[in-house]
Chain A
Amino acid sequence: MTEVLSEQVGSGSRSGALLEVDNLHVEFHTRAGVAKAVNGVTYSVDAGETLAVLGESGSGKSVTAQTIMGILDMPPGKITGGEIRFRGVDLLKLPEDQRRKIRGEGISMVFQDALSALNPVFPVGWQIAEMFRMHRGTSRAEAKKKAIELMDRVRIPAAKDRVNDFPHQFSGGMRQRIMIAMAIALDPEILIADEPTTALDVTVQAQIMELLAELQRESNMGLILITHDLGVVADVADKIAVMYGGRIVEHAEVHDLYKNPAHPYSKGLLESIPRVDHKGQELYAIKGMPPNLLEMPSGCAFHPRCPYRRETCETDVPPLYTISGTRGSACHYWREVIDEGQR
């Protein structure tokens, strides 16, 4: 974090984590109706920590991330409640020029689809260098030198020779490295990686995850890793937030959640994945489909699919019950779920 930034965004006065998302609500106004994409998301991440945000497509992971970054399309998007505190300051209340400063220098993001996130008509080195020119006013020659250094740092072979190449001349894995180079260019304190490996082969995924872990070790960044892959989460996360229907339904330290999930949805997910290390029998399958955001089920949004459902679930929205200092579950019957352990 640069000094300029620390002045703008207070320092020292905070008591919570480096970044805290607190009861965030976001809706989309579309012709078909109002889609409540984010319905009270709360999570936090500290320096050096890795938070995995896990959830099926449409559960609101990316919309939450876009809101943190301040790049949500408004309209159709609309933030209807909550705070996003970075170093104790609510970003949602900051004027755009200050937010722009934080984007890149305080918090930055790597997108799922590197090809469409990069500009096809500019050389990759130019795009990385642009970060320095825009934010730091660095000279052309100096910025290009820094771009090459960064390409080296994300392990692009022969970076010097490739700095003038265009995005389509790189493989998917290399493009994702370039995206990562741009994201870490200004030494952010928080990096949000939105499904950074979903489109990649496992061998390339392993390379990218290793790179992210190394960069994190070097700079002590806080990492928010958005994914639907339970294997990747088990590998790298310190803690997990599980999303369903725009809410956090369970949050826990990684070991606790895998050993003993406290929400029927997390538990169902763990039981429904095939494993490479043993053959296994018929898979457990969570029945039904993810909820339609335009017609969210009453009460607990998971109730139409939940094997633990009782009558109250259809009417009463479960709050995020506190199980321990590090753990919570949005299920009325979390005790029962925990007691049963994994099937």
Chain B
Amino acid sequence: MKASAESILEVRDLVKHFPLTQGIIVKRQIGAIKAVDGVSFDLHRGETLGIVGESGCGKSTLAKLLMALERPTSGSVRIHGKDITKAKGAELKRMRRNIQMVMQDPYTSLNPRMTVGDIVGEPFEIHPDVAPKGDRRRRVQELLEVVGLNPDHINRYPHQFSGGQRQRIGIARGLALQPEIIICDEPVSALDVSIQAQVMNLLERLQNEFGLSYIFIAHDLSVVRHISDRVAVMYLGKIVELGTDSEIYDSPTHPYTQALLSAVPVPDPEGRETRQRIILQGDPPSPANPPSGCHFRTRCWKAQDICAQQVPVLERRPGSDHPSACHFAEVRDVVNAQ
């Protein structure tokens, strides 16, 4: 399916700061963890937007904000023009139908005491108008079939399934309300290589069949490239670069993107002796206390004085046609130039 230009999700200046408190009896706020710190992007109909970045950079928090599972500190998340962060009660419930989530861990995200039928059919309990009671069993069996599970296993429990099958159960549940948007938070990272391919192929097939739009969060850059039309690279709560898969992977301009890509081992031993690597020193700084100016400057080999003083905005820069949040953005092909 070709992604259209129509935006079904518009995220603007989204911020989530978790208060950092001290004291047990009298809690004093001594700062804030800037988990998401000014994120804007659009998601188009039928498109997959990949989100990559190191652990703790705010990917899951962003996902929760989009689902309205967390209230943002500021900013907006519009689905078909309506802001879900401001929605309440019946309206929020209706909007949530349209945006569903598949979670990272197929081992802990499913309730062990519920049968597969109950798990996949649970959204119908919350939204009874979607499927009348008498029709639910059939609907659940259809969903199981769609994701490649045996519909006769409707009365089994999660522990009777493998990791890959449990992830399918999670996907079937995500599909139940026929949403337009599905947020996948690390949907394949807990799975073995041979099972990863099965689940990724399933996600792609469902997208074509139902015209779904995906936000696909993962730390595996190869997986993200495979499935995404566009990719956003996050660092300490901000998007630092955003572009089509080939803009990001073949002509990245942000030093962080370049370092991240260059760290991915290529599954081919040919030419490995001469392969150039950018090895970043240290770990990302704490989101409670990010560096001034460009958050990446403490690990950046190109940093200048201006980087400590001015926050680089995410915008198109000379010499490249996709946005990058670096004062000295410059194309460097680190993946193929080896």
Contact = CB atoms under 8 A, between A and B. Distances in A.
Interface of A: 56-57, 157, 171-174, 201-207, 209-210, 228-235, 237, 254-255, 258, 268-270, 272-277, 279-280, 282-287, 289-290
A303 B227 CA distance: 30
A242 to B, nearest CB: 12
A272 B336 contact: no
Given A234-B267, A274-B222, A289-B164, 18 more contacts: A172-B55, A205-B263, A207-B281, A210-B277, A210-B279, A231-B265, A254-B269, A258-B270, A268-B194, A273-B193, A275-B225, A275-B226, A276-B222, A276-B225, A276-B249, A276-B335, A280-B226, A283-B226
A203 B220 CA distance: 11
Interface string B155-187: 000000010110000000000000000000000
18 contacts: A173-B283, A174-B283, A201-B54, A202-B260, A203-B279, A207-B281, A210-B277, A210-B279, A229-B265, A231-B264, A234-B272, A255-B269, A268-B194, A272-B194, A277-B335, A283-B200, A285-B194, A285-B198
Contacts of A205: 263
Contacts of B192: 56-57, 228, 290
B140 interface: no
B267 A275 contact: yes
Contacts of B196: 272
Contacts of A268: 194
A269 B194 contact: yes
A235 B272 contact: yes
A173 B279 CA distance: 14
Nearest to B335: A277
B197 A272 contact: yes
Given A57-B192, A231-B267, A234-B272, A275 B222 contact: yes
Contact of A228 (B193, B223, B336): B193
Nearest 3 interchain pairs by C-beta: A231-B265, A274-B226, A285-B197
Interface string B269-284: 1101000010111110
B267 A279 contact: no
B3 interface: no
A209 B282 CA distance: 14
Contacts of A203: 54, 259-260, 263, 279-280
B150 interface: no
A279 B225 contact: yes
A235 B260 CA distance: 16
Contact of B162 (A172, A272, A289): A289
A206 B277 contact: yes
A146 to B, nearest CB: 25
B156 to A, nearest CB: 15
B123 to A, nearest CB: 27
Contacts of A272: 193-194, 196-197
With a 10 A CB-CB cut-off, give which of B198, B222, B259, B269 has the most chain A CB atoms. B269
A8 B86 CA distance: 74
Interface string B51-79: 00011000000000000000000000000
Contacts of A229: 265
Contacts of B223: 274
B167 to A, nearest CB: 12
A285 B283 contact: no
A203 B223 CA distance: 16
B309 interface: no
A290 B163 CA distance: 11
Contact of A202 (B200, B221, B281): B221
Interface residues of B, number: 45
Contacts of A157: 282
Nearest to A57: B192
B197 A283 contact: yes
B83 interface: no
A162 B204 CA distance: 48
A280 B267 CA distance: 14
A228 B264 CA distance: 14
Nearest to A255: B269
A217 B23 CA distance: 50
B268 A234 contact: yes
Contacts of A172: 55
B316 interface: no
Contact of B219 (A202, A283, A287): A202
A286 B245 contact: no
Contacts of B219: 201-202
B236 to A, nearest CB: 13
A157 B283 CA distance: 11
Contacts of A279: 225-226, 245-246
B280 A277 contact: no
Contacts of B282: 157
B312 to A, nearest CB: 20
A234 B204 CA distance: 28
A306 to B, nearest CB: 12
B310 interface: no
A258 B269 contact: yes
Contacts of A258: 267-270
Given A206-B277, A228-B192, A171 B283 contact: yes
Contacts of B165: 289
A151 to B, nearest CB: 15
A279 B227 CA distance: 8
A16 B309 CA distance: 62
Contacts of A255: 269-270
B194 A270 contact: no
Contact of B266 (A206, A276, A289): A276
B262 to A, nearest CB: 8
Given A201-B55, A273-B193, A289-B162, A283 B201 contact: yes
B279 A232 contact: no
A175 B6 CA distance: 47
A235 B264 CA distance: 10
With a 10 A CB-CB cut-off, give which of A174, A210, A277, A280 has the most chain B CB atoms. A277
